[in-house]
Amino acid sequence: MVAKPRILLGVSGGIAAYKAAALTSTLVQRGNGVEVDVVMTAEAERFITPLTFASLTARPVYTSLWDLPERIPHIRLVREAQVVLVVPATANLIAKLAMGIADDLLTAALLAARIPRILAPAMNEAMYEDPATQANIAALRSRGYEIVEPERGFLAERERGVGRLPSEERILEALDRALARRQSLHGKRVAITAGPTREPFDPVRFLSNASTGSTGIELAREAALRGASVTLLLGPTQLEPPAGVSVVRIVTADELYEAALVHAVGADLTIATAAVADWRPAEHRESKLSKSGEDLTVRLEPNPDVLAALGKCKRSTFLVGFAAETGEHETRAREKLADKHLDAIAVNDVRGERGFGTGDNELVLLWGADGRRELGRSDKKTLAARLLDALEELMQCS
Protein backbone atom coordinates (compact mmCIF):
# COMPACT_ATOMS: atom_id res chain seq x y z
CA MET A 1 0.00 0.00 0.00
CA VAL A 2 1.00 3.61 -0.52
CA ALA A 3 2.01 5.69 2.48
CA LYS A 4 -0.88 7.46 4.15
CA PRO A 5 -3.55 6.55 1.59
CA ARG A 6 -6.85 8.37 1.51
CA ILE A 7 -9.89 6.20 0.86
CA LEU A 8 -13.41 7.26 0.04
CA LEU A 9 -15.79 4.67 1.51
CA GLY A 10 -19.35 4.61 0.21
CA VAL A 11 -22.05 2.89 2.22
CA SER A 12 -25.40 2.11 0.62
CA GLY A 13 -28.60 0.83 2.15
CA GLY A 14 -28.31 -2.88 2.87
CA ILE A 15 -28.17 -4.92 6.04
CA ALA A 16 -24.45 -5.49 5.41
CA ALA A 17 -23.88 -1.79 6.15
CA TYR A 18 -22.85 -2.76 9.68
CA LYS A 19 -19.91 -4.68 8.19
CA ALA A 20 -18.72 -1.43 6.61
CA ALA A 21 -18.22 -0.11 10.13
CA ALA A 22 -16.04 -3.11 11.01
CA LEU A 23 -14.06 -2.58 7.79
CA THR A 24 -13.58 1.09 8.66
CA SER A 25 -12.21 0.13 12.06
CA THR A 26 -9.75 -2.28 10.41
CA LEU A 27 -8.60 0.37 7.95
CA VAL A 28 -7.84 3.02 10.58
CA GLN A 29 -5.94 0.47 12.71
CA ARG A 30 -3.59 -0.64 9.93
CA GLY A 31 -0.86 1.71 11.10
CA ASN A 32 -0.08 3.57 7.89
CA GLY A 33 -1.89 6.80 8.66
CA VAL A 34 -4.84 5.96 6.44
CA GLU A 35 -7.59 8.56 6.18
CA VAL A 36 -11.12 7.39 5.46
CA ASP A 37 -13.87 9.70 4.25
CA VAL A 38 -17.30 8.10 4.47
CA VAL A 39 -20.26 8.89 2.23
CA MET A 40 -23.62 7.36 3.19
CA THR A 41 -26.84 7.16 1.23
CA ALA A 42 -30.13 8.06 2.93
CA GLU A 43 -31.07 4.36 2.88
CA ALA A 44 -27.80 3.44 4.62
CA GLU A 45 -28.72 5.73 7.51
CA ARG A 46 -31.71 3.47 8.20
CA PHE A 47 -29.30 0.64 9.07
CA ILE A 48 -26.43 2.47 10.80
CA THR A 49 -25.89 6.05 11.92
CA PRO A 50 -23.30 8.52 10.62
CA LEU A 51 -22.11 8.91 14.22
CA THR A 52 -20.69 5.40 14.12
CA PHE A 53 -18.42 6.20 11.18
CA ALA A 54 -17.53 9.65 12.51
CA SER A 55 -16.38 8.04 15.76
CA LEU A 56 -14.30 5.45 13.93
CA THR A 57 -12.64 7.84 11.47
CA ALA A 58 -12.47 11.00 13.58
CA ARG A 59 -13.64 12.76 10.41
CA PRO A 60 -16.93 14.23 9.19
CA VAL A 61 -19.36 11.85 7.48
CA TYR A 62 -21.02 13.05 4.28
CA THR A 63 -24.65 12.23 3.60
CA SER A 64 -25.88 14.85 1.14
CA LEU A 65 -24.91 16.76 -1.97
CA TRP A 66 -25.69 19.80 0.14
CA ASP A 67 -23.09 19.09 2.82
CA LEU A 68 -20.72 22.06 2.46
CA PRO A 69 -22.05 22.84 -1.05
CA GLU A 70 -19.53 25.64 -1.50
CA ARG A 71 -16.80 22.96 -1.53
CA ILE A 72 -18.62 20.86 -4.17
CA PRO A 73 -18.18 17.65 -2.15
CA HIS A 74 -18.87 15.11 -4.91
CA ILE A 75 -15.88 16.49 -6.85
CA ARG A 76 -13.57 17.34 -3.98
CA LEU A 77 -13.89 13.97 -2.28
CA VAL A 78 -12.87 11.93 -5.35
CA ARG A 79 -10.08 14.37 -6.21
CA GLU A 80 -8.52 13.98 -2.77
CA ALA A 81 -8.81 10.18 -2.54
CA GLN A 82 -6.67 7.47 -4.15
CA VAL A 83 -9.52 4.96 -4.42
CA VAL A 84 -13.27 4.80 -3.84
CA LEU A 85 -14.74 1.66 -2.28
CA VAL A 86 -18.46 0.91 -1.85
CA VAL A 87 -19.45 -1.53 0.92
CA PRO A 88 -22.11 -2.76 0.51
CA ALA A 89 -23.16 -2.03 -3.08
CA THR A 90 -26.86 -2.75 -3.38
CA ALA A 91 -28.72 -3.76 -6.52
CA ASN A 92 -30.30 -0.31 -6.58
CA LEU A 93 -26.96 1.48 -6.41
CA ILE A 94 -25.48 -0.76 -9.11
CA ALA A 95 -28.47 -0.11 -11.38
CA LYS A 96 -28.19 3.67 -10.94
CA LEU A 97 -24.48 3.63 -11.72
CA ALA A 98 -25.06 1.50 -14.82
CA MET A 99 -27.62 4.04 -16.05
CA GLY A 100 -25.46 7.04 -15.13
CA ILE A 101 -27.96 8.31 -12.55
CA ALA A 102 -26.35 10.67 -10.04
CA ASP A 103 -29.17 11.68 -7.70
CA ASP A 104 -27.29 11.66 -4.39
CA LEU A 105 -23.79 12.38 -3.13
CA LEU A 106 -22.46 8.83 -3.49
CA THR A 107 -23.63 8.22 -7.07
CA ALA A 108 -22.51 11.73 -8.12
CA ALA A 109 -19.06 11.13 -6.62
CA LEU A 110 -18.72 7.75 -8.35
CA LEU A 111 -19.74 9.26 -11.67
CA ALA A 112 -17.12 11.99 -11.24
CA ALA A 113 -14.35 9.63 -10.09
CA ARG A 114 -11.21 9.19 -12.19
CA ILE A 115 -9.63 6.93 -9.60
CA PRO A 116 -10.06 3.16 -9.10
CA ARG A 117 -13.66 2.31 -8.18
CA ILE A 118 -14.36 -0.91 -6.26
CA LEU A 119 -17.83 -2.29 -5.55
CA ALA A 120 -18.57 -5.05 -3.05
CA PRO A 121 -22.14 -6.16 -3.84
CA ALA A 122 -24.43 -7.64 -1.22
CA MET A 123 -28.08 -8.63 -1.80
CA ASN A 124 -30.45 -11.57 -1.95
CA GLU A 125 -29.44 -14.33 -4.35
CA ALA A 126 -32.50 -13.81 -6.55
CA MET A 127 -31.68 -10.12 -6.92
CA TYR A 128 -28.02 -10.83 -7.65
CA GLU A 129 -28.74 -13.48 -10.27
CA ASP A 130 -31.49 -11.49 -11.99
CA PRO A 131 -30.45 -10.76 -15.62
CA ALA A 132 -30.86 -7.03 -15.06
CA THR A 133 -28.38 -7.02 -12.17
CA GLN A 134 -25.91 -9.19 -14.07
CA ALA A 135 -26.16 -6.90 -17.12
CA ASN A 136 -25.58 -3.85 -14.90
CA ILE A 137 -22.52 -5.44 -13.28
CA ALA A 138 -21.13 -6.36 -16.70
CA ALA A 139 -21.67 -2.78 -17.90
CA LEU A 140 -19.82 -1.36 -14.90
CA ARG A 141 -16.94 -3.80 -15.37
CA SER A 142 -16.61 -2.66 -18.97
CA ARG A 143 -16.30 0.92 -17.72
CA GLY A 144 -13.47 0.17 -15.35
CA TYR A 145 -15.19 -0.73 -12.06
CA GLU A 146 -13.71 -3.61 -10.10
CA ILE A 147 -16.33 -5.94 -8.67
CA VAL A 148 -15.47 -8.05 -5.63
CA GLU A 149 -17.87 -10.92 -6.18
CA PRO A 150 -20.28 -11.71 -3.33
CA GLU A 151 -19.96 -15.00 -1.50
CA ARG A 152 -22.29 -17.91 -0.86
CA GLY A 153 -23.60 -18.16 2.68
CA PHE A 154 -26.32 -17.26 5.14
CA LEU A 155 -28.40 -14.30 3.97
CA ALA A 156 -30.55 -11.86 5.92
CA GLU A 157 -33.73 -13.54 4.65
CA ARG A 158 -32.80 -16.75 6.54
CA GLU A 159 -31.78 -18.29 3.24
CA ARG A 160 -28.52 -19.60 1.92
CA GLY A 161 -27.19 -18.56 -1.45
CA VAL A 162 -24.93 -16.21 -3.38
CA GLY A 163 -25.19 -12.58 -2.34
CA ARG A 164 -23.41 -12.40 0.99
CA LEU A 165 -20.96 -9.47 1.28
CA PRO A 166 -17.42 -10.56 0.36
CA SER A 167 -15.16 -11.21 3.30
CA GLU A 168 -13.20 -8.33 4.76
CA GLU A 169 -9.99 -10.08 3.67
CA ARG A 170 -11.06 -10.16 0.01
CA ILE A 171 -12.20 -6.54 0.10
CA LEU A 172 -8.88 -5.44 1.61
CA GLU A 173 -6.96 -7.43 -1.02
CA ALA A 174 -8.83 -5.60 -3.79
CA LEU A 175 -8.24 -2.27 -2.07
CA ASP A 176 -4.51 -2.90 -1.64
CA ARG A 177 -4.16 -3.92 -5.30
CA ALA A 178 -5.87 -0.72 -6.38
CA LEU A 179 -3.68 1.43 -4.12
CA ALA A 180 -0.52 -0.28 -5.34
CA ARG A 181 -1.54 0.22 -8.96
CA ARG A 182 -1.99 3.92 -8.32
CA GLN A 183 1.75 4.21 -7.65
CA SER A 184 3.46 1.59 -9.82
CA LEU A 185 4.08 3.98 -12.74
CA HIS A 186 4.21 7.19 -10.74
CA GLY A 187 6.65 9.63 -12.32
CA LYS A 188 6.95 7.61 -15.54
CA ARG A 189 6.25 8.98 -19.01
CA VAL A 190 4.21 6.60 -21.16
CA ALA A 191 3.44 7.07 -24.86
CA ILE A 192 0.84 4.89 -26.59
CA THR A 193 -0.16 4.82 -30.23
CA ALA A 194 -3.67 3.60 -30.98
CA GLY A 195 -6.29 3.25 -33.66
CA PRO A 196 -6.04 3.08 -37.45
CA THR A 197 -4.51 5.48 -39.92
CA ARG A 198 -6.35 6.69 -43.01
CA GLU A 199 -4.54 7.19 -46.29
CA PRO A 200 -6.63 9.40 -48.61
CA PHE A 201 -7.24 8.56 -52.26
CA ASP A 202 -9.57 11.45 -52.94
CA PRO A 203 -11.59 13.77 -50.65
CA VAL A 204 -14.10 11.01 -49.75
CA ARG A 205 -12.16 7.73 -50.11
CA PHE A 206 -9.23 6.31 -48.16
CA LEU A 207 -7.32 3.13 -47.32
CA SER A 208 -7.66 1.99 -43.71
CA ASN A 209 -8.45 -1.02 -41.54
CA ALA A 210 -10.93 -2.19 -38.91
CA SER A 211 -8.98 -1.05 -35.83
CA THR A 212 -11.08 0.89 -33.30
CA GLY A 213 -8.20 1.86 -30.99
CA SER A 214 -9.86 0.17 -28.01
CA THR A 215 -6.74 -1.75 -26.91
CA GLY A 216 -4.59 1.37 -26.89
CA ILE A 217 -7.29 3.37 -25.14
CA GLU A 218 -7.58 0.76 -22.37
CA LEU A 219 -3.80 0.71 -21.99
CA ALA A 220 -3.76 4.49 -21.69
CA ARG A 221 -6.52 4.36 -19.10
CA GLU A 222 -4.71 1.69 -17.09
CA ALA A 223 -1.34 3.47 -17.26
CA ALA A 224 -2.95 6.70 -16.04
CA LEU A 225 -4.57 4.82 -13.14
CA ARG A 226 -1.10 3.61 -12.20
CA GLY A 227 0.14 7.18 -11.90
CA ALA A 228 1.91 7.59 -15.24
CA SER A 229 1.94 10.75 -17.33
CA VAL A 230 0.35 9.39 -20.51
CA THR A 231 0.36 10.70 -24.07
CA LEU A 232 -2.04 8.90 -26.42
CA LEU A 233 -1.38 9.27 -30.15
CA LEU A 234 -4.84 8.41 -31.45
CA GLY A 235 -5.99 7.72 -34.98
CA PRO A 236 -9.55 8.19 -36.30
CA THR A 237 -12.00 6.40 -34.01
CA GLN A 238 -15.46 6.90 -32.57
CA LEU A 239 -14.29 5.82 -29.12
CA GLU A 240 -13.64 8.45 -26.48
CA PRO A 241 -10.14 8.62 -25.02
CA PRO A 242 -9.84 8.28 -21.24
CA ALA A 243 -9.81 11.30 -18.99
CA GLY A 244 -6.52 12.39 -17.51
CA VAL A 245 -4.30 11.62 -20.52
CA SER A 246 -2.84 13.94 -23.14
CA VAL A 247 -4.33 13.13 -26.55
CA VAL A 248 -2.63 13.89 -29.87
CA ARG A 249 -4.97 13.29 -32.80
CA ILE A 250 -3.49 11.93 -36.01
CA VAL A 251 -5.00 10.70 -39.29
CA THR A 252 -2.28 9.49 -41.65
CA ALA A 253 0.83 7.38 -41.13
CA ASP A 254 2.96 10.43 -41.91
CA GLU A 255 1.23 12.37 -39.12
CA LEU A 256 1.74 9.49 -36.70
CA TYR A 257 5.41 9.26 -37.69
CA GLU A 258 6.01 12.95 -36.94
CA ALA A 259 4.02 12.84 -33.67
CA ALA A 260 5.80 9.68 -32.49
CA LEU A 261 9.24 11.22 -32.98
CA VAL A 262 8.15 14.12 -30.77
CA HIS A 263 6.17 12.35 -28.05
CA ALA A 264 7.41 8.74 -27.93
CA VAL A 265 11.17 9.21 -28.15
CA GLY A 266 12.48 9.66 -24.61
CA ALA A 267 9.40 8.23 -22.90
CA ASP A 268 10.04 5.63 -20.21
CA LEU A 269 7.62 3.26 -21.92
CA THR A 270 6.21 3.35 -25.44
CA ILE A 271 3.53 0.89 -26.54
CA ALA A 272 2.75 0.92 -30.25
CA THR A 273 -0.74 -0.56 -30.70
CA ALA A 274 -1.72 1.59 -33.70
CA ALA A 275 -2.68 -0.31 -36.86
CA VAL A 276 -0.64 1.75 -39.29
CA ALA A 277 -1.43 1.36 -42.99
CA ASP A 278 1.57 -0.17 -44.75
CA TRP A 279 0.78 1.53 -48.06
CA ARG A 280 -0.88 4.69 -49.29
CA PRO A 281 -2.12 5.79 -52.71
CA ALA A 282 0.81 7.26 -54.65
CA GLU A 283 -1.49 9.95 -55.98
CA HIS A 284 -3.99 11.96 -53.93
CA ARG A 285 -6.71 13.44 -56.08
CA GLU A 286 -7.98 16.87 -55.08
CA SER A 287 -11.53 16.16 -56.31
CA LYS A 288 -13.72 13.09 -56.08
CA LEU A 289 -13.15 10.55 -58.83
CA SER A 290 -16.48 9.81 -60.53
CA LYS A 291 -17.47 6.26 -61.38
CA SER A 292 -16.97 5.51 -65.08
CA GLY A 293 -17.79 1.80 -65.23
CA GLU A 294 -14.22 1.00 -66.23
CA ASP A 295 -11.52 -0.77 -64.25
CA LEU A 296 -9.39 1.44 -62.04
CA THR A 297 -5.77 0.81 -61.18
CA VAL A 298 -4.37 2.56 -58.10
CA ARG A 299 -0.62 2.58 -57.54
CA LEU A 300 0.41 2.28 -53.91
CA GLU A 301 3.63 3.37 -52.25
CA PRO A 302 4.96 2.37 -48.81
CA ASN A 303 4.30 4.44 -45.71
CA PRO A 304 7.09 5.23 -43.26
CA ASP A 305 7.70 2.45 -40.74
CA VAL A 306 6.86 4.21 -37.47
CA LEU A 307 7.87 1.33 -35.20
CA ALA A 308 11.21 0.78 -36.93
CA ALA A 309 11.98 4.49 -36.66
CA LEU A 310 11.27 4.41 -32.93
CA GLY A 311 13.47 1.33 -32.57
CA LYS A 312 16.42 3.11 -34.14
CA CYS A 313 16.28 6.10 -31.78
CA LYS A 314 14.66 4.68 -28.63
CA ARG A 315 17.68 5.29 -26.33
CA SER A 316 16.45 4.34 -22.82
CA THR A 317 12.81 3.92 -23.84
CA PHE A 318 11.31 0.48 -23.24
CA LEU A 319 9.68 -0.08 -26.63
CA VAL A 320 6.78 -2.49 -27.10
CA GLY A 321 5.23 -3.38 -30.42
CA PHE A 322 1.99 -5.11 -31.37
CA ALA A 323 1.60 -7.70 -34.10
CA ALA A 324 -1.81 -8.67 -35.46
CA GLU A 325 -1.28 -11.74 -37.60
CA THR A 326 -3.40 -14.37 -39.35
CA GLY A 327 -0.92 -17.25 -39.49
CA GLU A 328 2.36 -18.29 -37.85
CA HIS A 329 1.76 -15.28 -35.65
CA GLU A 330 4.47 -15.95 -33.05
CA THR A 331 7.12 -16.64 -35.70
CA ARG A 332 6.30 -13.42 -37.51
CA ALA A 333 6.20 -11.49 -34.24
CA ARG A 334 9.68 -12.69 -33.25
CA GLU A 335 10.99 -11.54 -36.61
CA LYS A 336 9.50 -8.09 -35.98
CA LEU A 337 10.87 -8.09 -32.43
CA ALA A 338 14.40 -8.44 -33.78
CA ASP A 339 14.13 -6.44 -36.99
CA LYS A 340 12.66 -3.35 -35.32
CA HIS A 341 14.87 -3.43 -32.19
CA LEU A 342 11.94 -3.87 -29.79
CA ASP A 343 12.18 -4.77 -26.12
CA ALA A 344 8.95 -6.78 -26.26
CA ILE A 345 6.05 -7.47 -28.58
CA ALA A 346 2.43 -8.45 -27.93
CA VAL A 347 1.02 -10.68 -30.64
CA ASN A 348 -2.46 -11.89 -31.41
CA ASP A 349 -4.06 -14.04 -34.08
CA VAL A 350 -6.86 -11.90 -35.53
CA ARG A 351 -8.62 -14.72 -37.31
CA GLY A 352 -12.19 -15.28 -36.13
CA GLU A 353 -13.82 -13.19 -33.40
CA ARG A 354 -10.66 -11.71 -31.94
CA GLY A 355 -8.71 -8.52 -32.40
CA PHE A 356 -10.08 -5.58 -34.36
CA GLY A 357 -13.53 -4.34 -33.41
CA THR A 358 -14.23 -7.09 -30.87
CA GLY A 359 -14.97 -6.89 -27.17
CA ASP A 360 -12.15 -9.23 -26.21
CA ASN A 361 -8.77 -10.36 -27.41
CA GLU A 362 -6.08 -12.94 -26.76
CA LEU A 363 -2.44 -11.93 -26.39
CA VAL A 364 0.98 -13.52 -26.06
CA LEU A 365 3.91 -11.37 -24.91
CA LEU A 366 7.33 -12.17 -26.39
CA TRP A 367 10.74 -10.76 -25.50
CA GLY A 368 14.43 -11.59 -25.79
CA ALA A 369 15.57 -14.83 -27.39
CA ASP A 370 12.90 -17.03 -25.88
CA GLY A 371 10.87 -15.00 -23.38
CA ARG A 372 7.17 -15.79 -23.64
CA ARG A 373 4.09 -15.22 -21.49
CA GLU A 374 0.51 -16.04 -22.39
CA LEU A 375 -1.79 -13.25 -21.21
CA GLY A 376 -4.87 -15.30 -22.06
CA ARG A 377 -8.17 -14.33 -23.59
CA SER A 378 -10.26 -11.69 -21.88
CA ASP A 379 -11.86 -8.29 -22.31
CA LYS A 380 -9.47 -5.57 -23.41
CA LYS A 381 -9.55 -3.76 -20.08
CA THR A 382 -8.40 -6.88 -18.23
CA LEU A 383 -5.75 -7.60 -20.86
CA ALA A 384 -4.44 -4.05 -20.55
CA ALA A 385 -3.86 -4.60 -16.82
CA ARG A 386 -2.20 -7.98 -17.43
CA LEU A 387 0.05 -6.54 -20.12
CA LEU A 388 1.17 -3.63 -17.96
CA ASP A 389 1.82 -5.99 -15.04
CA ALA A 390 4.10 -8.05 -17.29
CA LEU A 391 5.83 -5.01 -18.79
CA GLU A 392 6.54 -3.51 -15.38
CA GLU A 393 8.29 -6.76 -14.41
CA LEU A 394 10.38 -6.70 -17.58
CA MET A 395 11.27 -3.03 -17.13
CA GLN A 396 12.53 -3.71 -13.61
CA CYS A 397 14.79 -6.45 -14.94
CA SER A 398 16.13 -4.49 -17.92
Is residue 209 within 8 A of residue 356, CB to CB? The reply is yes
User: In this predicted model, which residue has the larger pLDDT, 328 or 185?
Assistant: 185
pLDDT at 142 over 50: yes
Is residue 75 within 8 A of residue 62, CB to CB? The reply is no
Residue 223, Cβ density class (10 Å: 0-12 exposed, 13-18 middle, ≥19 buried) = buried
Is residue 94 within 8 A of residue 125, CB to CB? The reply is no
Largest CA distance in the chain: 82
Residue 395, Cβ density class (10 Å: 0-12 exposed, 13-18 middle, ≥19 buried) = middle
The predicted model scores a pTM of 0.70
Q: Give the active site residue among 32, 209, 303, 361.
A: 209
pLDDT at 161 over 90: no
**Highest-pLDDT range among 99-113, 213-227, 276-290:** 99-113
What are residue 323's phi and psi, to 5 degrees? -130, 115
pLDDT the model gives residue 137: 95
% residues pLDDT > 90 (the chain)? 67
Residue 240, Cβ density class (10 Å: 0-12 exposed, 13-18 middle, ≥19 buried) = exposed
Which is nearest to 310 in space by CA: 333, 281, 339, 275? 339
Domains of the chain: 6-184 (3.40.50.1950), 189-397 (3.40.50.10300)
Q: Establish whether 32 is a catalytic residue.
A: no
pLDDT the model gives residue 350: 67
Which is nearest to 296 in space by CA: 307, 308, 281, 316? 281
- For the segment 217-237, the average pLDDT, to the nearest whole number, is 92
Angle at 41 between CA 65 and CA 122, to 5 degrees: 145
pLDDT in tens, 64-77: 998 888 888 999 99
